[in-house]
């Protein structure tokens, strides 16, 4: 398959080559600029600055927790969407992808309407349990879950739909219940896709800005994640903003290396070709 694709490659004619080259420059030049303009001498100081450390640690921690929660709830959701039959399945399938295209700030507003102090659910949480979610680290995590979960669900659901369901039938004839089959046959077979989905989910959570600043605010140590810190730094200390951006850029590159094409090459994502 890979070989066939390689053989099909030809030299691009100029009406295609020129726009393609411009697109590449446009996508890569800003990233290059980050590296060119980076304050390399003061970089160690900027990165060890306590406020940077707080923001970085908060981002890593919340994105990791959000990813874990996405996996606990998202993998079963992906299974239900690809295997179970229930009313409104197609509709739900379409709806869970909304956060992918929704402006994150709208997501933040929606979360406030539900979980805010006066929100539909938040009101009762406040009255009965004294729980207040908005403008806390929990709110940061919830905002990240909201925007990042679809990435995991779609990745896992794609792998489940592509996986040969007859392995599950074989497990059933051997006496395995649905749950056992899922745990011991389906799950190991789609593990690469779950890994890819989780990495993607984590990267999206790490970069989350709009929903976070709306729903969780911008408080150092509790809700000021790296993207928020970059935005704030841009107004007072551009050099620091560049330094922080470099950190996020390196994280993105690490993520790309970790995925190695799994996201856009679904056959590889299954890992069971």
Partner 1 sequence: MIIKSDGTGLVARIGIELGTLDLDAELAVQPGRTLAVLGPNGAGKSTLLRALAGLVPLRSGQIVLNGVVLDQPENRHFVSPEHRGTGYVFQDYLLFPHLNAIDNVAFGPRVRHRVRRGAARAAARQWLARLGLTEVAHLRPNALSGGQAQRVALARALAPDPGLLLLDEPLAALDAGTRLEVRAEIRALLPTLDVPVVLVTHDPVDALTLADDVAVLERGRVVQRGTPVEVITRPHTPYVARLAGLNLFPGTSSGGVVTLDTGSGGGGEGGGSGAPVTLLGPSDAPAGKVLVALRPSDVGVHIEEPLRAEGVLVLTGPVTSVEQLGDQVRVQISTAPVVRAEIPARRLAELRLVRGTTVWLTIDRKHVEVYSQTKPGL
In the complex, the residues that contact partner 1 under the rule CB under 8 A are 164, 166-167, 169-177, 180, 184-185, 188-189, 191, 272
Nearer to partner 1, 180 or 250 (CB): 180
Closest by CA to 167, choosing from 85, 83, 86, 90, is: 83
Spatial CB neighbours of 232, under 8 Å, sequence gap ≥ 6? 218, 224
Nearer to partner 1, 143 or 189 (CB): 189
CB of 164 to partner 1, least distance (A): 8
Nearer to partner 1, 172 or 258 (CB): 172
Rounded Cα gap, residues 206 and 259, in angstroms: 16
Nearer to partner 1, 127 or 165 (CB): 165
Nearer to partner 1, 204 or 262 (CB): 262
CA 7 to chain centre: 34
Decide if 244 contacts 225 (C-beta within 8 A). Answer: no
Rounded Cα gap, residues 180 and 173, in angstroms: 12
Nearer to partner 1, 132 or 161 (CB): 161
CB of 169 to partner 1, least distance (A): 5
CB of 179 to partner 1, least distance (A): 10
CB of 139 to partner 1, least distance (A): 39
**Dihedral angle of Cα 255, 261, 265, 269, to the nearest 10 degrees:** -60
Which residue matches tokens 């969407």? 81
Nearer to partner 1, 70 or 75 (CB): 75
CB of 181 to partner 1, least distance (A): 8
Q: Give the relative orientation of helices 238-259 and 14-36 as an angle to the nearest 10 degrees.
A: 130
Nearer to partner 1, 42 or 180 (CB): 180
CB of 245 to partner 1, least distance (A): 40
Helix (H) / strand (E) element for 151: namely helix 137-162
Closest by CA to 58, choosing from 242, 208, 221, is: 221
CB of 182 to partner 1, least distance (A): 12
Helix (H) / strand (E) element for 94: namely helix 89-95
Which residue matches tokens 């996201």? 263
* Eight-state DSSP code of residue 261: T
* Eight-state DSSP code of residue 183: I
CB of 167 to partner 1, least distance (A): 6
């Amino acid at each position: 398959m890979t070989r066939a694709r390689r053989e099909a490659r030809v030299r691009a004619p100029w009406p295609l080559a020129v726009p393609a080259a411009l697109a590449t420059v446009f996508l890569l030049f800003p990233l290059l600029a980050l590296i060119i303009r980076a304050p390399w001498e003061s970089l160690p100081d900027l990165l060890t600055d306590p406020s940077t450390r707080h923001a970085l640690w908060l981002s890593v921690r919340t994105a990791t927790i959000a990813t874990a929660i996405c996996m606990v709830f998202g993998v079963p959701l992906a299974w239900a969407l690809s295997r179970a039959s229930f009313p409104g399945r197609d509709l739900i399938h379409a709806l869970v992808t909304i956060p992918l295209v929704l402006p994150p700030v709208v997501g933040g507003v929606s979360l406030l309407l539900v979980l805010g102090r006066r929100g539909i659910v938040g009101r009762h949480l406040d009255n009965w349990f004294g729980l207040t979610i908005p403008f806390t680290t929990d709110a940061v995590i919830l905002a990240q879950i909201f925007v990042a979960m679809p990435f995991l669900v779609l990745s896992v659901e794609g792998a489940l739909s592509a996986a040969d369901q007859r392995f599950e039938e074989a497990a059933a004839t051997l006496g395995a219940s649905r749950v056992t089959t899922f745990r011991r046959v389906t799950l190991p077979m789609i593990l690469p896709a779950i890994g890819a989905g989780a990495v993607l989910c984590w990267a999206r959570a790490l970069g989350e800005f709009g929903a976070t600043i709306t729903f969780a605010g911008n408080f150092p140590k509790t809700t000021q994640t790296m993207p928020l810190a970059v935005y704030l730094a841009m107004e007072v200390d551009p050099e620091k903003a560049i330094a922080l951006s470099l950190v996020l850029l390196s994280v993105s590159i690490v993520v790309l290396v970790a995925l190695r094409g799994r996201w856009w090459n679904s056959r590889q994502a299954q890992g069971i070709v």
